[in-house]
Amino acid sequence: MLPDGAPRALALSDVAVHAGVSHQTVSRVVNGHPNVAPATRERVQRAITELGYRPNAAARALVTGSTRSFGLVISHINQYGPAQTLLGLEKAARAAGYSLGVAILDDDSEAAMREAVDRFVAQSVDAVVALSTYGQAVEALRRFEAPVPLIAVQVGRDESRPTVWVAQEVGAELATRHLLELGHRTVHHVTGPPDSLEARGRVVGWRRALEQAGAPVPEPLCGDWWASAGHAAGRALAARVRAGQEDVTAVFVANDQMALGLLSALADEGLSVPGDISVVGFDDVPECEYFSPPLTTVRQDFAELGRRGVELVLARLRGEPLESQPVLPQLIVRRSTGPARRV
């Protein structure tokens, strides 16, 4: 009924008057303190619902020093992994009674990272979760002296700071070994961007698996996560095949988008998958199953990552220094991989 011009929001004292008690008693009821007589509690409860009172978060934050909120610093939110992690994180945070502020990094520079964290600090969030896995932003994180707990997710192990991460090397080894076991002499690799820690981890795992098997380690092709880079890599590999290079029969691509581009390029070049070349991706995006052919890949449980991130934050806030275990990836075999062709 009232025009939009605010009728001044209800305060504790309004409820107190309505219920005939002091504002402190109302506060006690709101916060579930023990020593309140059942009759009083009920009377206050009724007043609260009748008036539709809701506590003022700012006033609370001012006096308690806690906003019951986290800040999430994130980049590349339009990619599957980060989006999925955000999903898990928000849900877990909400379940724990925290709300989530989001800052999306324009670029992965130290300055951007610092500015985002700063803004959260000014908002007095209770903790900041950072999910940038790129270059200087990661370095920046390592050195930060923030006046709030700062938790890193998905940046690989870090001794100096609490961290949650997926064991990228393990996933890459899984993929590479799978191909070697199918009889391929070696496995080529299309990497992610060089400044990504995840991309580097996958390179390490791939190389390790090859070396352990005594297989030659070819020069990796450099990509950037996007399908276009995979396409370029596919053309490059096809050229090598045409030039008679015999060992190009298996490729481990650092993510599914690039694998899609690669499949497309190979098809254009008249190479069959897995007949001529076997391909493995990474991430297990939901569309994998409908690539041509359906893509063998490594699944990362991003939602779990988000969940563990929140766990770590909460443990930290409670003062328990929880040692977090890495999340383990899993190989999903589909139809893009097959036995090496006999030469």
Task: Kindly list the residues in this chain that would bind DNA in the complex (CB under 7 A).
Answer: 8-9, 11-13, 20-25, 27-28, 30-31, 34-37, 39-41, 55-56, 59-60, 62-64
Half-sphere exposure of 2 (CA within 13 A, CB side): 6
* Residue 286 lies near a second copy (rule: CB under 8 A): yes
Burial of 26 (0-12, 13-18, 19+ CB in 10 A): buried
Place of tokens 């502020």: 101
**Least distance CB 12 / DNA (angstroms):** 3
* Residue 298 lies near a second copy (rule: CB under 8 A): no
Amino acid at 43: R
Helices in 157-296 by DSSP H: which ranges? 168-181, 197-212, 227-242, 256-268
Which of 51, 61, 317, 331 contacts a second copy by CB under 8 A? Answer: 61
* Residue 202 lies near a second copy (rule: CB under 8 A): no
Contact 292, 262 (CB under 8 A): no
Two tokens, residue 335: 């139809």
* Residue 15 lies near a second copy (rule: CB under 8 A): no
- Integer Cα distance of 307 and 84 in angstroms: 11
**Least distance CB 66 / DNA (angstroms):** 9
* Residue 123 lies near a second copy (rule: CB under 8 A): yes
Report the partner that residue 39 touches, choosing among a second copy, DNA, none (CB closer than 5 to 8 A by kind).
Answer: DNA
Cis peptide before 82, with omega less than 30 degrees from 0? no
Place of tokens 């052919």: 293
Nearer to a second copy, 55 or 218 (CB): 55
* Residue 103 lies near a second copy (rule: CB under 8 A): yes
Report the partner that residue 141 touches, choosing among DNA, a second copy, none (CB closer than 5 to 8 A by kind).
Answer: none
**Least distance CB 300 / DNA (angstroms):** 40
* Residue 84 lies near a second copy (rule: CB under 8 A): yes
**Least distance CB 334 / a second copy (angstroms):** 12
Nearer to DNA, 59 or 239 (CB): 59
Which of 231, 241, 279, 282 contacts a second copy by CB under 8 A? Answer: 231
Where is 150: in which H helix or E strand?
A: strand 150-153
- Integer Cα distance of 308 and 91 in angstroms: 11
- Integer Cα distance of 175 and 173 in angstroms: 5
Nearer to a second copy, 139 or 287 (CB): 287
